[in-house]
Protein backbone atom coordinates (compact mmCIF):
# COMPACT_ATOMS: atom_id res chain seq x y z
CA UNK A 1 0.00 0.00 0.00
CA UNK A 2 2.72 2.47 1.10
CA UNK A 3 4.79 1.40 -1.91
CA UNK A 4 1.90 2.18 -4.26
CA UNK A 5 1.33 5.56 -2.62
CA UNK A 6 5.03 6.40 -2.91
CA UNK A 7 4.99 5.41 -6.57
CA UNK A 8 1.89 7.53 -7.19
CA UNK A 9 3.41 10.59 -5.46
CA UNK A 10 6.68 10.20 -7.31
CA UNK A 11 4.79 10.02 -10.55
CA UNK A 12 2.68 13.04 -9.65
CA UNK A 13 5.60 15.27 -8.69
CA UNK A 14 8.18 14.03 -11.17
CA UNK A 15 9.28 16.35 -13.94
CA UNK A 16 7.39 16.37 -17.19
CA UNK A 17 8.23 17.26 -20.74
CA UNK A 18 6.41 20.29 -22.04
CA UNK A 19 6.02 21.92 -25.44
CA UNK A 20 6.26 25.68 -25.73
CA UNK A 21 6.31 28.14 -28.60
CA UNK A 22 4.14 28.28 -31.68
CA UNK A 23 4.14 27.42 -35.34
CA UNK A 24 5.89 29.98 -37.53
CA UNK A 25 4.76 28.26 -40.74
CA UNK A 26 8.26 27.40 -41.91
CA UNK A 27 6.72 24.30 -43.47
CA UNK A 28 9.71 22.08 -42.66
CA UNK A 29 7.66 19.44 -40.86
CA UNK A 30 5.66 19.01 -44.08
CA UNK A 31 8.72 18.70 -46.32
CA UNK A 32 11.00 16.61 -44.10
CA UNK A 33 8.63 13.75 -43.42
CA UNK A 34 9.94 10.22 -42.88
CA UNK A 35 7.95 7.02 -43.22
CA UNK A 36 8.64 3.65 -41.72
CA UNK A 37 7.61 0.15 -42.59
CA UNK A 38 7.80 -2.50 -39.88
CA UNK A 39 9.64 -0.01 -37.63
CA UNK A 40 12.28 0.58 -40.32
CA UNK A 41 12.64 4.01 -41.91
CA UNK A 42 12.13 3.96 -45.66
CA UNK A 43 15.40 4.40 -47.59
CA UNK A 44 14.55 2.84 -50.93
CA UNK A 45 12.71 4.72 -53.69
CA UNK A 46 11.35 1.46 -55.14
CA UNK A 47 9.90 0.61 -51.78
CA UNK A 48 8.13 3.97 -51.73
CA UNK A 49 6.62 3.23 -55.15
CA UNK A 50 5.35 -0.08 -53.80
CA UNK A 51 3.89 1.75 -50.79
CA UNK A 52 2.08 4.15 -53.14
CA UNK A 53 0.57 1.23 -55.04
CA UNK A 54 -0.47 -0.43 -51.83
CA UNK A 55 -1.95 2.60 -50.06
CA UNK A 56 -3.31 5.63 -51.89
CA UNK A 57 -2.46 8.07 -49.08
CA UNK A 58 1.21 7.84 -50.04
CA UNK A 59 0.39 9.44 -53.38
CA UNK A 60 -0.01 12.71 -51.45
CA UNK A 61 3.75 12.79 -50.92
CA UNK A 62 6.81 13.16 -53.11
CA UNK A 63 10.44 12.38 -52.41
CA UNK A 64 12.20 15.53 -51.27
CA UNK A 65 15.72 14.39 -50.42
CA UNK A 66 17.69 12.09 -48.17
CA UNK A 67 19.32 12.39 -44.78
CA UNK A 68 23.03 11.69 -44.34
CA UNK A 69 22.01 8.21 -43.22
CA UNK A 70 20.15 7.58 -46.45
CA UNK A 71 16.66 7.93 -45.00
CA UNK A 72 14.23 9.30 -47.58
CA UNK A 73 12.54 12.63 -46.82
CA UNK A 74 9.11 13.37 -48.24
CA UNK A 75 7.19 16.54 -48.96
CA UNK A 76 3.44 16.71 -48.67
CA UNK A 77 1.86 17.89 -51.92
CA UNK A 78 -0.66 19.98 -49.97
CA UNK A 79 2.06 22.29 -48.62
CA UNK A 80 1.69 25.76 -50.11
CA UNK A 81 4.58 28.06 -51.06
CA UNK A 82 3.92 30.32 -48.07
CA UNK A 83 4.37 27.37 -45.66
CA UNK A 84 0.67 26.99 -44.91
CA UNK A 85 -1.38 23.85 -45.38
CA UNK A 86 -3.53 23.67 -48.50
CA UNK A 87 -5.96 21.27 -46.84
CA UNK A 88 -5.95 22.79 -43.36
CA UNK A 89 -9.55 21.85 -42.43
CA UNK A 90 -9.17 18.33 -43.77
CA UNK A 91 -5.64 17.54 -42.60
CA UNK A 92 -4.98 14.23 -40.90
CA UNK A 93 -4.93 13.53 -37.18
CA UNK A 94 -1.13 13.27 -37.28
CA UNK A 95 -0.91 16.75 -38.75
CA UNK A 96 -3.36 18.11 -36.17
CA UNK A 97 -1.40 16.68 -33.25
CA UNK A 98 2.04 17.75 -34.47
CA UNK A 99 4.42 18.35 -32.65
CA UNK A 100 3.09 15.69 -30.33
CA UNK A 101 5.99 13.63 -29.05
CA UNK A 102 6.54 10.54 -27.03
CA UNK A 103 8.66 10.77 -23.90
CA UNK A 104 11.29 8.39 -25.19
CA UNK A 105 11.81 10.55 -28.27
CA UNK A 106 12.71 13.57 -26.11
CA UNK A 107 14.51 11.44 -23.55
CA UNK A 108 16.78 10.12 -26.31
CA UNK A 109 17.67 13.66 -27.39
CA UNK A 110 14.95 14.15 -30.02
CA UNK A 111 14.30 17.80 -30.81
CA UNK A 112 11.98 19.78 -33.07
CA UNK A 113 13.35 20.62 -36.52
CA UNK A 114 15.91 23.47 -36.61
CA UNK A 115 13.54 26.18 -37.85
CA UNK A 116 10.53 24.98 -35.89
CA UNK A 117 8.96 27.53 -33.55
CA UNK A 118 8.23 24.88 -30.90
CA UNK A 119 10.60 23.78 -28.17
CA UNK A 120 10.65 20.73 -25.91
CA UNK A 121 11.77 21.25 -22.33
CA UNK A 122 11.41 19.89 -18.82
CA UNK A 123 9.12 21.70 -16.39
CA UNK A 124 11.70 21.51 -13.62
CA UNK A 125 15.01 23.38 -13.45
CA UNK A 126 18.23 21.44 -12.85
CA UNK A 127 18.84 23.51 -9.69
CA UNK A 128 15.55 22.25 -8.24
CA UNK A 129 16.94 18.70 -8.27
CA UNK A 130 20.09 19.89 -6.48
CA UNK A 131 18.11 21.76 -3.82
CA UNK A 132 16.01 18.72 -3.04
CA UNK A 133 16.57 17.34 0.47
CA UNK A 134 17.36 13.63 0.66
S1 LIG B 1 -1.67 17.94 -44.86
FE2 LIG B 1 -1.04 20.02 -44.42
S3 LIG B 1 -0.20 19.95 -42.32
FE4 LIG B 1 -0.29 17.85 -43.11
S5 LIG B 1 1.73 17.44 -43.98
FE6 LIG B 1 0.41 18.17 -45.64
S7 LIG B 1 0.76 20.38 -45.72
FE8 LIG B 1 1.53 19.65 -43.76
S1 LIG C 1 8.34 22.77 -38.33
FE2 LIG C 1 7.32 23.73 -36.57
S3 LIG C 1 7.19 25.93 -37.07
FE4 LIG C 1 7.63 24.82 -38.98
S5 LIG C 1 5.60 24.47 -39.90
FE6 LIG C 1 6.11 22.67 -38.67
S7 LIG C 1 5.20 23.03 -36.65
FE8 LIG C 1 5.27 24.99 -37.74
What tens digit of pLDDT does each residue of 15-71 get? 777 888 999 999 999 999 999 999 899 999 999 999 999 999 999 999 999 999 999
Query: What pTM was estimated for this model as a whole?
Result: 0.79
The CA 75 to ligand 2 mean position distance, Å, reads 13
Is 59 in contact with 75 (CB distance < 8 Å)?
no
pLDDT at position 133: 58
Ligand nearest to the CA of 96: 1
The CA 11 to ligand 2 mean position distance, Å, reads 31
Element housing 120 (H / E)? strand 118-122
Best of 19, 110, 115, 118 to mutate for ligand 2, by most ligand atoms within 8 A of CB? 118
Is 72 in contact with 63 (CB distance < 8 Å)?
yes
SS3 21: strand
Structural Rg of the chain based on CA atoms: 20
Q: What is the residue-averaged pLDDT of the chain?
A: 86
Amino acid sequence: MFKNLKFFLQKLFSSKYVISGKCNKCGDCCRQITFSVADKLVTDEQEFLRMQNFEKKYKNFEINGKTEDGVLLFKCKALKDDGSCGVHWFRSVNCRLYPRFNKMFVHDGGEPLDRCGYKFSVDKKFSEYLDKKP
